Structure 1
């Protein structure tokens, strides 16, 4: 593979990846980006489901390419004894196994935690599922939007009084993938002390509940049920998206000092002394009136001009950027957050990079594999060939 992972923190670790679609593949891609060897096991009948999700470039899925870089691919039929033997040989020497089947499927296939732990006591076995390995919902299937709805996230997303709204990215899957990567690395760290692997149990619904931030605490403290507020913060004002003369800008003035700086930068220092706005509590109570006042001032110039003034004043802010703006952003480019890969008939494609920077070593990179691309080499390595 076209990658150099030797100096990365997970170099030397081998991950057997039985995941598909998004939560699991995102987790294992994070591990691969940090240097782990990831062997992706796919269904011979078409491979990972996400290979069939668009958009497509020369017949290849850009969706699949975005979450499966730095991996090797082999197609195995887990119901066929010979292919199961190949998988067992891989797991016997692996550091980590990651699967995202529904709870109970691995047991039906014979790859239970108990059996694999007995055969390879150092193995970290991570299961990612909709609802975890225990509890009354454990056998239910789930997709991202199912857990966004059940986990309360959609109940606090959207405009006040509007219909519930899905978050614009698959945060149910991505959150689970990130928590799984944390759990796996924590288990590997513990193994360095004990010599024994652990079972890591990740439920997508659990992860959504964890991501509710302070909503549960606010409900417990006040008895009120958090509801959608649009873009504003429930406890800090001004902390919102504001209309300017030519677009929108986010302003986050998290304390009285920043609010005074904001008012001065907008040309109305006296606004900070208005009794309705002089304290955090007062601003929260009169948030709608304050927004009207600020937008009346902001209407006199465009977002770029205000950004310059707020930057000089030290007020946290940011323009509303589209995805097209993001890929042209010089800071995003300088941080290595855009990877250039090839797809289809060697056509270029830009993908999101890995935000985890560890030391000076650059993140490993190799394009997502073709289905069964590494079959011959992997069969030779694990003791069998197609012949």
Structure 2
């Protein structure tokens, strides 16, 4: 992997000033991974992301090591006029400012979008928060899973003792929100460079969770129309099945099957792929008896066929079935857990770990790959204020007396 200085990177020359707390700061992680210069402005006490969640790696949270990687940390006390003046100087040469916290944090310090636009009309201001800058939940405190429960992605699980529990789940809103925001920032920068005019955008992590799961909510909405207008698909007798897994729960040609050492996901819902499977396992009779529809046929409820497939899949290992799928053009997917994923050969080929000696803990690289270029390795996440003097000196051109004056005034913390 090449280094993380940004030279020659896709976003080299893009500078972003970030004011963030906790997970929403991932907005700029994606941009820093692609070479943007991200200056993380922190209050004197710092972003407590360093102490948040687990695991702690040599006393620092993995969340900080990952989300803050590739960024530079500057301490500024924005409660003081001297601190605000330095922030405005940073904004003058920036492409974007990111407010990744509750809405209005910078506004309350006299550094809202209008003030910043006065010193830099080309500036893109992006706010990202839990429930967004408008609506009845605007000021409701929240943490990551709240956006997924709001969006209907995570449901309470009975603990069996009269209590309720949070089930194991992937986190969608806290990851999708930063991705949407990063996309919006890049769109804003492109427009600003073409027109000379910046803009203000905002993203709610709750909105992002709902948007990522658009098919289910839009399906329920479509089903509010009469059945003669909105139906299921022809292969399933036009039955209006619930969105999500309900149409597959009793599927046969789209289903999990146990192998000799684990499970695979079988997905031969197209007739041609189903034929390939039956031919490959030497069972053309299965296809002859159950040819199904041309597309989207899960053979729902065909218990005889499901029993036959259960016997067939149990005879080979998961790896053998994956190799079979490649050889015979049959969609058969590996089934991993977050713990076993790293042992998968596709993972090892596509997502080689960035070693702990570079980032403090083993971390996944950005999934964005530019062909014919070596993957870039970001810098280690910064300690609090690690780059304060460097940025003031090299980015803003402050001399030693200027920095000493700011330090004496308390604008750079203690």
TM class by smaller structure? 0.7 to 0.9
Contact 2:14-2:95 at 8 Å conserved across structures: yes
Query: In structure 2, which of residues 381, 398, 403 is the aligned counterpart of residue 368 of structure 1?
Result: 381
Corresponding residue of 2:142:
142
Corresponding residue of 2:169:
168
Residue 353, structure 1, aligned to residue 365, structure 2: yes
The Cα shift of 1:327 comes to 2.8
Corresponding residue of 2:108:
108
Residue 283, structure 1, aligned to residue 298, structure 2: yes
Give CA-to-partner distance per residue, 1:161-209, whole Å, 9 cap, x none: xx99767332110000100010001111111221111112101121112
Residues 11-160 of structure 1 mapped to structure 2, 5 A cutoff:
11-23=12-24, 25-154=25-154
Contact 1:47-1:75 at 8 Å conserved across structures: no
- State the number of aligned residues: 378
Corresponding residue of 1:219:
220
The Cα shift of 1:45 comes to 1.8
Pairwise CA RMSD:
3.1
Q: Secondary structure at the match of 2:266?
A: strand
Looking at structure 2, the residues matched to 75 and 216 of structure 1 have their Cα atoms a distance apart, in angstroms, of: 43
Cα distance change on mapping 1:287 and 1:18 into 2, 3 Å:
farther
Q: Which has the larger radius of gyration?
A: 2
Residue 306, structure 1, aligned to residue 321, structure 2: yes
Residue 335, structure 1, aligned to residue 350, structure 2: yes
Looking at structure 1, the residues matched to 5 and 23 of structure 2 have their Cα atoms a distance apart, in angstroms, of: 25
Cα distance change on mapping 1:289 and 1:126 into 2, 3 Å:
farther
Contact 1:176-1:202 at 8 Å conserved across structures: yes
Residues 178-327 of structure 1 mapped to structure 2, 5 A cutoff:
178-223=179-224, 226=242, 229=245, 233=248, 238-275=253-290, 277=292, 280=295, 283-286=298-301, 290-327=305-342
Structure 1 range deviating more: 265-274 or 287-296: 287-296
The Cα shift of 1:123 comes to 0.7
Looking at structure 2, the residues matched to 300 and 318 of structure 1 have their Cα atoms a distance apart, in angstroms, of: 17
Looking at structure 2, the residues matched to 84 and 257 of structure 1 have their Cα atoms a distance apart, in angstroms, of: 65
Structure 1 range deviating more: 317-326 or 85-94: 317-326
Cα distance change on mapping 1:245 and 1:184 into 2, 3 Å:
same
Cα distance change on mapping 1:292 and 1:109 into 2, 3 Å:
farther
Cα distance change on mapping 1:288 and 1:91 into 2, 3 Å:
farther
Residue 380, structure 1, aligned to residue 393, structure 2: yes
List runs of 5+ in structure 1 lacking aligned partners. 158-162
Q: Secondary structure at the match of 2:319?
A: helix
TM-score normalised by L of structure 2: 0.81
Looking at structure 2, the residues matched to 221 and 235 of structure 1 have their Cα atoms a distance apart, in angstroms, of: 23
Looking at structure 2, the residues matched to 259 and 156 of structure 1 have their Cα atoms a distance apart, in angstroms, of: 37
Cα distance change on mapping 1:82 and 1:75 into 2, 3 Å:
same
TM-score normalised by L of structure 1: 0.86
Cα distance change on mapping 1:109 and 1:235 into 2, 3 Å:
farther
Looking at structure 2, the residues matched to 258 and 356 of structure 1 have their Cα atoms a distance apart, in angstroms, of: 30
Contact 2:99-2:105 at 8 Å conserved across structures: no
Contact 2:133-2:202 at 8 Å conserved across structures: yes
Looking at structure 2, the residues matched to 104 and 4 of structure 1 have their Cα atoms a distance apart, in angstroms, of: 32
Contact 1:172-1:204 at 8 Å conserved across structures: yes
Cα distance change on mapping 1:85 and 1:281 into 2, 3 Å:
closer
Looking at structure 2, the residues matched to 270 and 124 of structure 1 have their Cα atoms a distance apart, in angstroms, of: 62
List runs of 5+ in structure 2 lacking aligned partners. 158-163, 225-239, 409-414
